[in-house]
């Protein structure tokens, strides 16, 4: 019923998690959502905007302490970022967050685009008709 008459699904996800494991979990769910839309004949047009602590999990050179404790989850995040990019999902990383969290933008995984301000991205995409998908 929800997709009756819908030909394109435009969604923007704000990702702000305090755990690499939770980040990987939701990236997996978003991947399944993309696939589910396709299976139901709806063209997915999804955008992910990473802010806050989540940007720490997007680096190919993570903090050593984070790596020791969460190596498997960080690897899962890297794989899912790559897979989502390959599916055409745009992924933006807030430069304010990378600066605050001490993440070198040059170390971000391939498939990620740095933007000046993730909140501005959210405002812009919602103004363009993308629907915010809340994740808690």
What is the rounded distance in angstroms from the CA atom of residue 119 to the CA atom of residue 86? 25
Q: What is residue 5's predicted lDDT score, i.e. its pLDDT?
A: 95
Q: What is residue 125's predicted lDDT score, i.e. its pLDDT?
A: 98
Task: Indicate whether 2 belongs to any domain.
Answer: no
Q: What is residue 80's predicted lDDT score, i.e. its pLDDT?
A: 98
Task: Indicate whether 3 belongs to any domain.
Answer: no
Task: Indicate whether 13 belongs to any domain.
Answer: yes
Alpha helix (H) residue ranges in the chain: 20-39, 64-86, 95-101, 118-127
Q: What is residue 100's predicted lDDT score, i.e. its pLDDT?
A: 98
Task: Indicate whether 103 belongs to any domain.
Answer: yes
Q: Could you say which residues of the chain have pLDDT below 50?
A: none
Domain total for the chain? Answer: 1
In tens, the pLDDT along 25-36 reads 999 999 999 999
Q: In this structure, what DSSP letter does residue 60 have? A: S
Domain range for 64 = 8-133
Q: What is the CA radius of gyration of the chain?
A: 15
Residue (of 78, 72, 73, 22) closest to 52 by Cα position: 22
Q: What is residue 134's predicted lDDT score, i.e. its pLDDT?
A: 85
CATH number for the domain including 116?
A: 3.40.1260.10
What is the rounded distance in angstroms from the CA atom of residue 113 to the CA atom of residue 127? 20
pTM of the predicted protein model = 0.96
């Amino acid at each position: 019923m929800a997709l009756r008459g819908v030909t394109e699904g435009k969604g923007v996800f704000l990702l702000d998690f305090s755990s690499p494991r939770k980040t990987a979990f939701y990236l997996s769910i978003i991947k399944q959502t993309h696939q589910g839309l396709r299976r139901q004949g709806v063209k997915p047009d999804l955008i992910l905007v990473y802010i806050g602590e989540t940007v720490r999990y997007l680096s190919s050179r993570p903090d050593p302490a984070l790596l020791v404790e969460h190596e498997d989850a960080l690897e899962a995040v890297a794989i899912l970022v790559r897979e989502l990019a390959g599916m055409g999902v745009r992924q933006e990383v807030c430069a304010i967050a990378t600066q605050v969290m001490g993440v070198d933008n040059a170390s971000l995984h391939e498939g990620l685009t740095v933007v000046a301000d993730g909140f501005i991205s959210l405002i812009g995409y919602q103004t363009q008709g993308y629907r915010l998908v809340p994740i808690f």
